């Protein structure tokens, strides 16, 4: 397993981060119903990940329901005495309680959310606490001061953003600089061969200001796993067979071209499509760690194969060409001008 700096901090995290969204057997109220792992399976996946060198696990208060993922993860940490061997990441912002203040990123809401996550995780600090999405109702200075206070109190070590617009992320960095506050060190965002919109503004911003990118959904909900083919129905029991609306959103000529190019590169390298898709992300600028999920030990083992895979320049060029995004204005105008982009 290779290790990298978490953004511009000195903390080292594994190049692969285990996403805990599937931990805990969710009931029919959760979007993870029938696509999650029970506690025993979750523990086995965590045990193997730790053995393989993964020291970075990402969860959130809304994963499962009523904090299920955090509770399962916290129980595992305690049962394995693993707290000091794992960089624990969690997130808060989405609704966890009824009423007008049961959601959002206000100071009151976020400080409550941090305390609740600490209780569920059974720990005295969260190593990376992330705001799950920007909240336009809350001034960024209010949020930055709340997170700075939580850092100074020792409840969180670092904090990061997730699902932020570039302008809002830049505003947060500006506020922190002007008010001499701790600031975001990472950006967790959707990023994959199928979803490259992040490269327009977020990647240059993170590169300039030293934020580490933590891609989520690196296999595009399983589309890039090798299980799906053009003009064929999703395999029975697969995630995209259940999430029909999401599958239809992926069912485009561009995405099938990516899937086919990925399969070709994987065949040439003797690797699986999942491994190649993850390795492509690990070769992108300012990526600190790639977050992947695993419902089974078999899925975990497959993904672990990406940790030491370094793609050749030719393989990257082939994948870049197949997945090239439509940049749109003004980026398509700027890209061919020296100093334009």
Establish whether the linkage from the previous residue to 293 is cis, with ω within 30° of 0.
no
Collapsing DSSP to helix, strand or coil, 160 comes out as strand
56-58 and 212-216 strand pairing? unpaired
Residue 231 half-sphere exposure, CB side, CA atoms within 13 Å? Answer: 0
87-92 and 156-162 strand pairing? unpaired
Q: How far apart are CA 50 and CA 69, in angstroms?
A: 17
Q: How far apart are CA 299 and CA 34, in angstroms?
A: 16
| 254: Cβ contacts below 8 Å, ≥ 6 apart | 323
Helices (H), ranges, 137-292:
140-152, 166-178, 202-209, 239-242, 244-250, 253-269, 273-282
Collapsing DSSP to helix, strand or coil, 69 comes out as helix
Q: Is 191 a catalytic residue?
A: no
Q: How far apart are CA 17 and CA 217, in angstroms?
A: 12
Strand partners, 86: none
Q: How far apart are CA 95 and CA 121, in angstroms?
A: 18
- Give me the catalytic one of 63, 164, 191, 228: 63
- Catalytic positions: 63
């Amino acid at each position: 397993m290779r290790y990298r700096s978490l953004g511009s901090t000195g903390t080292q995290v594994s190049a692969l981060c285990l996403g805990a969204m599937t931990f805990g057997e969710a009931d029919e109220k959760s979007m993870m119903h029938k696509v999650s792992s029970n506690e025993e399976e979750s523990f086995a996946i965590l045990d193997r990940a730790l053995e393989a060198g993964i020291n970075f696990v990402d969860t959130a208060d809304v994963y499962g329901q009523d904090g299920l993922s955090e509770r399962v993860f916290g129980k595992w940490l305690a049962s394995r005495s693993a707290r000091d061997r794992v960089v624990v990441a969690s997130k808060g912002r989405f609704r966890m309680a009824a009423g007008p203040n049961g959601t959002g990123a206000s100071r009151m809401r976020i400080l409550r959310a941090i305390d609740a996550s600490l209780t569920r995780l059974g720990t005295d600090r969260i190593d990376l606490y992330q705001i799950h999405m920007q909240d336009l109702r809350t001034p960024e200075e209010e949020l930055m001061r709340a997170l700075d206070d939580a850092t100074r109190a020792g409840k969180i070590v670092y904090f990061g953003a997730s699902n932020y617009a570039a302008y809002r992320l830049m505003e947060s960095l500006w506020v922190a600089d002007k008010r001499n506050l701790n600031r975001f060190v990472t950006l967790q965002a959707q990023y994959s061969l199928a979803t490259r919109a992040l490269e327009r503004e977020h990647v240059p911003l993170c590169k300039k200001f030293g934020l580490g990118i933590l891609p989520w959904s690196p296999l595009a909900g399983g589309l890039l796993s090798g299980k799906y083919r053009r003009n064929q129905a999703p395999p029975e029991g697969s995630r995209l067979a259940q999430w029909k609306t999401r599958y239809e959103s992926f069912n485009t000529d561009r995405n099938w071209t990516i899937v086919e190019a990925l399969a070709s590169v994987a065949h040439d390298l003797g690797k699986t499509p999942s491994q190649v898709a993850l390795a492509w992300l690990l070769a992108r600028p300012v990526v600190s760690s790639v977050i992947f999920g695993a419902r089974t030990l078999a899925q975990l083992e497959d993904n672990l194969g990406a940790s030491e895979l370094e793609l050749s320049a030719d393989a990257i060029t082939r994948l870049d060409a197949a997945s090239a995004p439509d940049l749109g204005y003004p980026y398509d105008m700027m890209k061919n001008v020296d100093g334009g982009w």
